[in-house]
Amino acid sequence: MLKVNISLLTAFIIFIGNALFYKPTDLRKNQSLKISNDSLLKGFSCPLELLANYYAGPSIVPSPSCLAVAPSGEVFVGVDMIGSLGKTPGKGRIVKLIDDDHNGKMDSHTIFAMVDNPRGIISLGDKVYVLHTTFSKETGKASGMDLVVFEDINNDGVADGLPQPLVQNICSPKFLQSRGTDHSTNGIRMGIDGWIYISVGDFGFTDAIDRSGKKLTMLGGGIVRVRPDGTELEIFTHGTRNIYDTAIDPFMNIFTRDNTNDGGGWNIRFSHHIQSGEYGYPTLFKNFTEEIIPALVDLGGGSGTGSIFIDDANWPEKYNKVPMMADWGRNQLFVHRIKPDGATFTQTEEEFIKLSQITDVDVDATGQMYLSAWDGAGYSGNPNKGYVVRVVPKDWKYEAFPNLKKADLAQIAKLLKSGSGTARLAAQQELLSRSDVDAAEVSWAIATDKSLALDIRVAGLFTYAQAAGASGIPNLVKLAAEDSIREIALKALADRKAFANQVPLNLFLKSLKDPSPRVQMAATIGLGRLGKLEAAKALLDVKIPTTFIAPEKGKEGPHATPNSSIVPSHLAVRALVSLNAVEACVAAVGTKNSTLALWALRYMHHPKAVSGLIAKYKVAKDAKTKREILTTLSRLYKKEAPYDSSWWWSTRPDTHGPYYKDIVWESSPAIKAILLQEWKKAADKTFFVELNDKNRMGIAELGTGETIAAKEEVKVDLQKIRNKKGQVGEASIEDVMLAMAKIPGKAELGKTLFTKQGCIACHSLSTSESIKGPFMGQIGSIMNREQIAESILKPNASISQGFASVLIEAKGDMSYMGFVTEETSTQLTLRDIGGNVSKIKKSDIISRKELETSMMPAGLANALSYEELASLITFLANQKK
């Protein structure tokens, strides 16, 4: 089976060096690129309306994990020679790139700062924010991740002294040490509300600490946010797997590109993140989907990386005001066409810019877009791989961005009204560095000017809210009287919990009944943030839609299907939980608001909730209410164990839910007692068996209907896996790569497998043999073990020039697919996936299309054990003729 496995494993083989680049004549017709002596890499493409330049290569920016562009165009690139699975510190840095003549090519660079595993950058004024891994000086091991800020006051391209920590320990160190950063905390981006939004992978974190001393813990992934001074750290959304970045629009809609568990195929999920929302991974998103905000779409396999919401008037209309999402696995920057749908959206995905293992994207204030590419640098970085590309609209012209430090208030106000979101944010932050009185006056004039576009007024409103603080609340209340901007005014009023006691509650209660679903959404979220229990009654009145339906037993729920109707009630529940409105929810059980109250009570592990529910059960008259109360009590029987970062659910977690690591608590005995009491009375025990199974209570007396034990996660235990067959197919690629780095393998066994698995059908080892597919006789001198392993496991990641798959349609209704092994002026020789050779007359060819996928399908090594795969890799690595 492995014969095709390596078939384009050497995909990467024969080229080295100049096979990396297209010559101008090689460019496809659908590309329109500005070509220089450094022509763009093979496989790059972009729409005709755009021009592109190869900006900087691996000699300056190898293995670029992230980048950020200053409003004035300087590019800060995070060089990450540790990569996702590396463990050795001292291999990372932030490089500043400068294009002095603005022709799309880097002219000079500086090493701005030395940091390990840079995973997110923001450049604003003389400050550069960086998210990166920290290492212990004593042990040399990863100790966590920090968000820090560097300053370059003298503008010499080098950070002035040590960074200032803003948030520390925002990733669990144990798994950074054992695995690397593959599921760690990643991208950072600032919204026009002035918060820094941080993308957290499902390593989560325990006791992250901000500059005020506040501590925060999060089990699993989501988005957290913090003020630019490192205070007010808080969770924004929860329940995602491994998001790498956020795209934030001018109205503070936030979008991400995530994926599901590895066992589910790394399927990409595009989501709209609504503050306080629960997205369910991994415990709710399959069997409890009525409780989550679902993703907007499942897009199949991929691996999301950098993101941006493009907001620049210099860009063509069809590529402006849209979220753009990079996908490392698909080698694409995608555009998502979003359409309003109640308080959320629907979307349509389009391919946009093709780039080899794209990692990040950002735009300056003049419309220059910069993209970074990993370009096959492997899981642990590569000094010879990676680059940065600049892309601009075809009619783009350089306009110098002003020095904001020297700008007067009128100039800053003009920029705050700019058609560039980047320019507006830069102007806002500069304005906020001036006197609060001046900043408030300038921004209020913009916020209240009805002649301006709404996105510009929103920029003014959020600037005013930050400058004025609590003293601005009366003005924001007045602005909330205006229909067009009420939603944003409500957001700003409830944005800072420190001012919550000064915000009028009635405005939010009234707005719960606003005709606009977006205003309703802002009001609901706000009520949860204001912390006033008297809001509970109004929140309980929010209607539950007919889409609030639990998945059928044994069927996966619709976790990636838009469901705008669930958003109001979902947010009402999150607000009630935030308020800890136990008594109000218990009181509502048995009333018209019973369903919402019971939904909220599922998350309230409080003795009063349990005793109140039991009391309600005893007086309930109708069977439906009684069953719903027992269902809620069964959910409360266990709760999630406190997270201490000593464990992680791995790349293939148990997704049954409702908890991952469950424990009983002080009210569990009371719940068990009433469940057993009612179980004994029941003639049909099925209801109780199903409760026991679904909520994983483990109450033996109730019995179980499950006949097949849940499959255990395959662990990477190098002492036990050497002889385990089929391990490759049962593990994630990351786990296989970790194992391959430590198992030496046996070359002789690898040689046997090379023949036994049929690799010789498509590959030669000696120049004396006829050349078939990619030549294996010198692969070891061209690729290291890690690259060989990655090429076997991910055959589409790197395809050698000249060995791409070709689809040929020929006369006689014939079609052929394979790679060309010989071509003359009159004939093609094609070898297919089975090693079969076809000779085709060129005069018979009707069409010939080069495919973007390898002839070798992924997964052909799945039947091998780790020892066998390591042996095959070792044998190939020894081929150095």
Q: For 55-70, what is each residue's pLDDT tens digit?
A: 999 999 999 999 999 9
d(CA 484, CA 443): 18
pLDDT-based confidence at residue 466 (cuts at 50, 70, 90): very high
d(CA 664, CA 639): 6
d(CA 111, CA 134): 19
CB 654 within 8 A of CB 719: no
d(CA 595, CA 637): 19
pLDDT-based confidence at residue 476 (cuts at 50, 70, 90): very high
pLDDT-based confidence at residue 14 (cuts at 50, 70, 90): very low
The position carrying tokens 């690729």 is 783
- In this predicted model, which residue has the larger pLDDT, 8 or 429? 429
d(CA 602, CA 491): 27
Neighbours of 17 (CB within 10 A): 7
Among 303, 320, 318, CA closest to 268: 303
d(CA 116, CA 507): 48
Average pLDDT over residues 478-483: 98
d(CA 459, CA 418): 10
Backbone phi, psi, residue 57, to 5°: -115, -170
**Helix (H), strand (E) counts: the chain:** 23, 33
Is the pLDDT at 194 greater than 80? The verdict is yes
pLDDT single digits (tens) 602-616 = 999 999 999 999 999
Average pLDDT over residues 112-134: 97
Is the pLDDT at 826 greater than 50? The verdict is yes
pLDDT single digits (tens) 517-546 = 999 999 999 999 999 999 999 999 999 999
Neighbours of 849 (CB within 10 A): 11
pLDDT single digits (tens) 576-609 = 999 999 999 999 999 999 999 999 999 999 999 9
pLDDT-based confidence at residue 34 (cuts at 50, 70, 90): very low
Task: Tell me what pLDDT residue 485 has.
Answer: 98
Enter the DSSP assignment of 615.
H
What's the mean per-residue pLDDT of the chain? 88
d(CA 416, CA 460): 7
What three-state secondary structure class fits 444?
Answer: helix
- In this predicted model, which residue has the larger pLDDT, 42 or 674? 674
d(CA 701, CA 714): 31
- In this predicted model, which residue has the larger pLDDT, 824 or 647? 647
pLDDT single digits (tens) 840-852 = 998 899 988 867 6
Return all residues near 404 (Cβ < 8 A) that are at least 6 apart: 71, 125, 412, 415, 426, 427, 430
pLDDT single digits (tens) 199-243 = 999 999 999 999 999 999 999 999 999 999 999 999 999 999 999
pLDDT single digits (tens) 620-670 = 999 999 999 999 999 999 999 999 999 888 877 888 999 999 999 999 999
- What is the pTM (predicted TM-score) of this model? 0.83
The gap from C-alpha 430 to its chain's centroid, in whole angstroms, comes to 30
Task: Tell me what pLDDT residue 110 has.
Answer: 98
| Lowest mean per-residue pLDDT among 275-284, 634-643, 788-797 | 788-797
CB 167 within 8 A of CB 209: yes
| Lowest mean per-residue pLDDT among 349-363, 494-508, 625-639, 704-718 | 704-718
d(CA 170, CA 217): 9
What three-state secondary structure class fits 346?
Answer: strand
* CA within 13 Å, CB half, 238: 16
pLDDT single digits (tens) 395-439 = 999 999 999 999 999 999 999 999 999 999 999 999 999 999 999
Among 833, 844, 850, 834, CA closest to 809: 844
CB 257 within 8 A of CB 243: yes
Is the pLDDT at 96 greater than 90? The verdict is yes
d(CA 126, CA 133): 23
Average pLDDT over residues 279-290: 96
Any idea how long the chain is? 881
The four Cα atoms 783, 789, 792, 795 give a dihedral, to 10 degrees, of -70
d(CA 272, CA 701): 43
What three-state secondary structure class fits 116?
Answer: strand
Task: Tell me what pLDDT residue 5 has.
Answer: 29
Is the pLDDT at 571 greater than 60? The verdict is yes
Average pLDDT over residues 360-370: 98
d(CA 736, CA 722): 12
Task: Tell me what pLDDT residue 339 has.
Answer: 98
- Our CA angle for 277, 282, 286, nearest 5°, is 90
Q: What percent of the chain has pLDDT over 70?
A: 86
Q: Which residues pair with 95 in a beta bridge?
A: 77, 111
Which tokens hold the place of 761? 């059908």
Q: How far is CA 663 from CA 42, 453, 643, 807, in A?
A: 54, 53, 12, 57
CB 514 within 8 A of CB 486: yes
d(CA 800, CA 771): 15
Is the pLDDT at 835 greater than 70? The verdict is no
What three-state secondary structure class fits 79?
Answer: strand
Which tokens hold the place of 169? 């320990």
